[in-house]
Amino acid sequence: MDQLRSKLRKAEQLFFGNYKAKSIFIDQTTTITYRYDASHYKLTVNFVDQNGNSIEPDKDTDKYQSVVYQTDSPIAHPDILHYTYDSAYKSTKTDNPDTYLITDLDAENIITLHYIANDEKVTVKHVDANNYSIGPDTTFEGKFGQSITIDATTDKDHWNIQGYKATDDSVSYTFIDGVQTVEVPYTQVFTAPIHYVDNSGNAIDPNLLTDAPQTLSGDKGENVEFTSPAIPGYTAFSDNPTSYTLIENDTKGVTLRYVPTTVDITWETPAGSDTPVLTSNAGIPVAGQPISADDPTGPKCQQV
């Protein structure tokens, strides 16, 4: 008897009929009629977004739909907050169906309804330590629930701000509903100029400083460490400073002194030529330098 009742309940099909059951408590000549009205089957419904990620429907949205056994039953496409039903998604028996027919109660009767997350926008503000805006805002667009990274690459037009640096290398954000704003914090960058001079106090030719930094930068009061860069034809003084404390509106900066490098050179006349050329035994370039220090516009050294 229990087995029969279990089958009937599982099917939830509409059954009308008379069934004889033996019971030690009832006269065996008695006919018992069981009436099962279970024509509606609870069909499991999954909700997913445009990326196939599961959506948790509103608390008032049932994860099951009632369908009639062996009958083409209409399928509802309920509204879900922050999402829009994807009516363009290709409909199949199990994906975005308009109707559903149950023919096998032992089969996995599950359908999936597809939705698209609503479009959202967020305004990115670039602010200093006092929460004042220090540059243009940036607008990012995305879908509800989508996560994005805001950094120098994605915010390339506004991330780098003269005189400031972002506190973090990147900021993560997930779109929500409604008006959205996210702030990227910055700290002010303080700079100090670097002056390169020879042992006479004269500025070294800027053409020789292409690989040498021109400024120090960091936070106000920060003690920045550095080394004297190599300059062709010069040797840095051993007592040059190796650190400097940054202050506001610093125009004095730090001075690094150099002495012209002394090298052994020889005159050589290449085979087949009557013109001697100057070469460096130490391997240090001398090409382009005046042969005589007293005649800077005169003949220049050549290198072979």
Query: Of the ranges 2-6, 97-101, 166-170, 214-218, which one carries the lowest mean pLDDT score?
Result: 2-6
Mean residue pLDDT across the chain: 83
For 41-89, write each residue's pLDDT tens digit: 889 999 999 999 999 887 777 788 888 888 899 999 999 999 999 999 9
Output the CATH code of domain 119-186.
Answer: 3.10.20.320
> For residue 258, which amino acid is it?
Y
Please report the pLDDT score of residue 14 as a whole number: 43
Between 60 and 265, residue with greater pLDDT: 60
> Of the candidates 193, 192, 165, 167, which has an alpha carbon nearest to the alpha carbon of residue 246?
192
- Name, in order, each residue with C-beta under 8 angstroms of 269's C-beta and a sequence gap of 6 or more: 275, 276, 277
Domains 119-186 and 190-260 share a fold: yes
- Joined together, the tokens standing for residue 289 give 């330098």
Q: What is the pTM of this model?
A: 0.58
296: exposed, middle or buried (Cβ count in 10 Å: 0-12, 13-18, 19+): exposed
Note the pLDDT of residue 70. Answer: 85
Question: What class is the 190-260 domain?
Answer: alpha beta
| Among 27-36, 173-182, 229-238, 242-251, the least confident range | 27-36
At 301 the pLDDT is 58
**pLDDT tens-digit readout, 149-162:** 999 999 999 999 98
Check: CB of residue 8 under 8 Å from CB of residue 2: no
From 299, 261, 252, 255, select the one nearest 283 (Cα to Cα). Answer: 261
Contacts of residue 82, defined as CB under 8 A and 6 or more positions apart, other chains included, come to 117, 118, 144, 145, 177
282 pLDDT band, cuts 50/70/90, is very low
Residue with tokens 């020879």: 198
**How far is the C-alpha of 199 from the C-alpha of 257, rounded, in Å?**
6
- What are the residue boundaries of the structural domains of the chain, listed by start? 2-37, 40-117, 119-186, 190-260, 263-304
